[in-house]
């Protein structure tokens, strides 16, 4: 659904009127287009350790315009703040306040990215305090940025460095237009696993991917994005959506599988179809889901069980089949669609929020199981996304929901698809058990 208000106030007279009246001033976001530059403008890398030096050298090899010291009033495309050597909260002052002097020089749709280490990986209280402080710092800064700029962070586990494959993969994702609606979020690189693609425009070349719930909306956008990135697709949906599913399959030059994923044998049927038709199976995207909203006081058994069964129990059964299959062994990737409702809750959605919270718990616990095969599993949690479902929300409620994030607008199905495509790639191989919100950084809630 088109957000006409954002289009109106993004330019010309509409922009002037919004500013004078103190109305929200969302801007049209710089979303990914094949062949576009990674980032517009110089990239300022701040930090004094070897991690910062190594990272700056790598960015130079990407043909980016890299600065190690700010040039006054130079319009910047990004600021990367490398904080991987913190020993206590006092260490934050110099690098953070130095970076602060360049914030006014950020161009529209620019990026601020922190690179730090996991607080959970140390037993030193001072070190843990400093590392956890980066979390609050980055999330607060992201809410101060304007004109489509975003702030996100990369957290390095003990097995990862600033130039580990997935550290660089996460950095490329956050710098690019693929992360346009990701704001105030962190990705944790837990290991040195992963591999950067030889062709950045086709990072999924040679992979076979299954997308459930692919007949329309976010699922169709996921299938099209994975196809654009080089994957061969199997699109799955219920028989009642067969016509729409066939169209998506034709669009992505893949195959369609009409299947109710809540069937006990759904996992085996998915594996058999992928292997028989395409010879392999590398990626599974759990997108299929339903809502049956009702206040808990009015909730009945049918509404509760149907949501739990489709949204989480079916995924668990399919994952059991995948992990037991000899055909899902070559650095396999699983990405599930969760929801911010499962994090912050939502009135009238106790069943849905329970199922989506369950998805996040499943992802964390499955990570070590799939790691045995060199694989990864993660989840993406969308916020307000412009879909047929949100288009049915009453106008006033919809407008409020759109503006209650740092970017002051709703996301697009493609924004969710871009995050999933990254997490499904080998460039994210060192990221597992994580949940990435695609919500523009909600201003309220968890």
Whether 217 is in a domain gets the answer yes
* Residue 1 pLDDT exceeds 90: no
User: 422 with 180: CB under 8 angstroms?
Assistant: no
- For 232, phi then psi, to 5°, come to -90, 135
Name residues whose C-beta falls within 8 Å of residue 354's C-beta, 6 or more positions apart in sequence.
307, 308, 342
State whether 168 and 180 are in the same domain: yes
Lowest mean pLDDT among 14-23, 209-218, 395-404: 14-23
- Average pLDDT of every residue of the chain: 94
Here the tokens at position 17 are 């009127």
State whether 37 and 18 are in the same domain: no
pLDDT band (50, 70, 90) for residue 397: confident
Whether 400 is in a domain gets the answer yes
pLDDT of residue 446: 43
Pairwise CA distance, residues 83 & 137, whole Å? 12
State whether 219 and 80 are in the same domain: no
State whether 16 and 61 are in the same domain: no
Q: What is the DSSP string of 301-330?
A: HHHHHHHHIIIIIHHHHHHHHHHH-TTS-S
Whether 445 is in a domain gets the answer no
State whether 3 and 49 are in the same domain: no
Pairwise CA distance, residues 289 & 303, whole Å? 13
Mean pLDDT of 120-131: 98
pLDDT in tens, 320-366: 999 999 999 999 999 999 999 999 998 899 999 999 999 999 999 99
- The single residue of 181, 186, 328, 352 carrying the catalytic annotation is 352
State whether 170 and 228 are in the same domain: no
User: 408 with 442: CB under 8 angstroms?
Assistant: no
- For 202, phi then psi, to 5°, come to -130, 60
Whether 79 is in a domain gets the answer yes
State whether 415 and 301 are in the same domain: yes
Whether 446 is in a domain gets the answer no
User: 214 with 245: CB under 8 angstroms?
Assistant: yes
Nearest one of 166, 227, 236 to 194, comparing CA atoms: 166
Looking at 189, 224, 244, the residue that finishes a domain is 189
* Residue 103 pLDDT exceeds 80: yes
- For 367, phi then psi, to 5°, come to -50, -50
State whether 80 and 164 are in the same domain: yes
* Residue 127 pLDDT exceeds 80: yes
Rg for the chain (alpha carbons), in Å?
A: 22
Q: How far is CA 58 from CA 36, 99, 312, in A?
A: 20, 21, 40
Q: Domain range for residue 54?
A: 31-189
Pairwise CA distance, residues 180 & 409, whole Å? 11
pLDDT of residue 444: 52
State whether 127 and 253 are in the same domain: no
Name residues whose C-beta falls within 8 Å of residue 382's C-beta, 6 or more positions apart in sequence.
218, 337, 339, 340, 411, 415, 416, 437, 438, 439
pLDDT of residue 49: 86
Pairwise CA distance, residues 180 & 176, whole Å? 8
Laid out side by side, the sheet with 76-83 consists of 66-67, 43-46, 76-83, 106-117, 150-156, 186-189
Q: What DSSP character marks residue 437?
A: E
Looking at 160, 189, 218, the residue that finishes a domain is 189
If one counts the domains in the chain, the total is 3
pLDDT of residue 18: 64
Which residues partner with 81 through β-bridges?
46, 114
pLDDT cut 90: percent of the chain above it: 86
pLDDT in tens, 42-86: 999 999 889 999 999 999 999 999 999 999 899 999 999 999 999
Whether 290 is in a domain gets the answer yes
* Residue 204 pLDDT exceeds 50: yes
- Strand (E) positions, 202-343? 208-212, 232-237, 255-258, 283-286, 333-337
State whether 212 and 83 are in the same domain: no
pLDDT of residue 445: 47
Whether 203 is in a domain gets the answer no
Whether 419 is in a domain gets the answer yes
Pairwise CA distance, residues 139 & 441, whole Å? 8
Q: Catalytic annotation on 5?
A: no
Pairwise CA distance, residues 90 & 311, whole Å? 45
State whether 240 and 221 are in the same domain: yes
State whether 116 and 146 are in the same domain: yes
pLDDT in tens, 408-425: 999 999 999 999 999 999
The CATH code of the domain that includes 286 is 3.40.50.720
């Amino acid at each position: 659904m088109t957000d006409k208000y954002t289009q109106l106030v993004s330019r010309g007279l509409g922009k002037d009127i919004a500013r004078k009246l103190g109305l929200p001033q969302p801007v049209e976001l710089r979303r990914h287009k094949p062949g576009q530059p990674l980032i517009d403008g110089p990239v300022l890398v701040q930090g004094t350790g070897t991690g910062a030096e190594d990272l700056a050298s790598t960015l130079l090899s990407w043909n980016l315009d890299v600065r190690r010291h700010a040039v006054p009033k130079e319009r910047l495309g990004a600021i990367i703040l490398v904080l991987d050597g913190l020993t206590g909260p006092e260490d934050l002052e110099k690098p953070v306040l130095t970076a602060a002097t360049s914030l006014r020089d950020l161009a529209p749709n620019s990026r601020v990215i922190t690179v730090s280490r996991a607080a959970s990986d140390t037993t030193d209280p001072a070190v843990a305090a400093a590392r956890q402080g980066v979390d609050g710092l980055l999330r607060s800064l992201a809410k101060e940025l304007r004109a489509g700029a975003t702030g996100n962070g990369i957290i390095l586990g003990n097995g990862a460095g600033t130039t580990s494959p997935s550290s660089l993969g996460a950095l490329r994702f956050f710098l690019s237009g693929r992360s346009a609606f990701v704001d105030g979020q962190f990705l944790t690189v837990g290991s040195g696993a992963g591999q950067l693609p030889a062709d950045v425009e086709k990072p999924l070349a040679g992979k076979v991917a299954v997308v459930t719930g692919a007949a329309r909306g976010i699922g169709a956008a996921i299938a099209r994005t994975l196809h654009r990135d080089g994957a061969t697709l199997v699109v799955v949906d219920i028989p009642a959506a067969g016509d729409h599913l066939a169209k998506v399959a034709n669009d992505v030059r893949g195959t369609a599988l009409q299947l109710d994923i809540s069937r006990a044998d759904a996992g085996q049927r998915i594996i058999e179809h992928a292997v028989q038709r395409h010879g392999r199976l590398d990626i599974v995207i759990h997108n299929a889901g339903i809502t049956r909203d009702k206040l808990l006081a009015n909730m009945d058994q049918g509404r509760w069980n149907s949501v739990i069964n489709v949204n989480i129990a079916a995924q668990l059964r399919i994952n059991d089949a995948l992990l037991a299959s000899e055909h899902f062994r070559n650095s396999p990737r699983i990405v599930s669609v969760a929801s911010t409702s499962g994090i912050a809750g939502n009135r009238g959605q106790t069943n849905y929020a329970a199922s989506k919270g369950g998805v996040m718990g499943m992802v964390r616990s499955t990570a070590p199981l799939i790691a045995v095969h060199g694989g990864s599993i993660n989840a993406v949690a969308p916020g307000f996304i412009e879909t047929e479902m949100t288009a049915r929300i009453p106008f006033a409620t919809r407008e409020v929901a759109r503006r209650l994030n740092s970017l002051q607008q709703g996301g697009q199905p493609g924004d969710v698809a871009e995050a999933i495509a990254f997490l499904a790639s080998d460039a994210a191989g060192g990221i597992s058990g994580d949940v990435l919100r695609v919500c523009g950084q909600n201003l309220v809630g968890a």
